[in-house]
Amino acid sequence: MEKQKIQLTNIIPVIQDVEILINTDAVYLIFPDKADLEDNFASTPYPNPATSQISFEFNAKNSKDLTLEVVDLNGRVVMTETLNLNSGLNKNTIQTSNLTNGFYFLRLTANDFSREQKIMISR
């Protein structure tokens, strides 16, 4: 997650307009006027390394569709799913039992936006 310094003014949200999401990895501030999905992710994939499934959480400003792809280190897409996001906090779990041990990228794409996170499968 990219760090961002915000100076509060009358045109930038006041502190009560900020949602704070806390998980075991970090604390994230969610600004309600941010349209970029990247700013709204609430966690990195977990558990990582994964055995049979992996989960991730994100906060969506509006309902929308998200394309999830699992990509191997050779760039091959080995799994694709379409996820329907609801407005607010979303939690998704994907099954990884059909993937062989190794490193992959979890690619999340919506509205000309793409983000990848490295995941590991280990049994």
Least confident span in 24-28, 71-75, 77-81, 98-102: 24-28
May I ask the CATH class of domain 43-121? mainly beta
DSSP E strand stretches across the chain? 19-22, 27-30, 53-60, 64-72, 77-85, 88-95, 102-110, 113-121
C-alpha to C-alpha distance for 113 and 103, rounded to whole angstroms? 23
- What's the pLDDT tens digit per position in 38-52? 435 667 889 999 999
pLDDT at 122: 94
Label the pairing between strands 64-72 and 77-85.
antiparallel
79-105: pLDDT as tens digits: 999 999 888 888 999 999 999 999 999
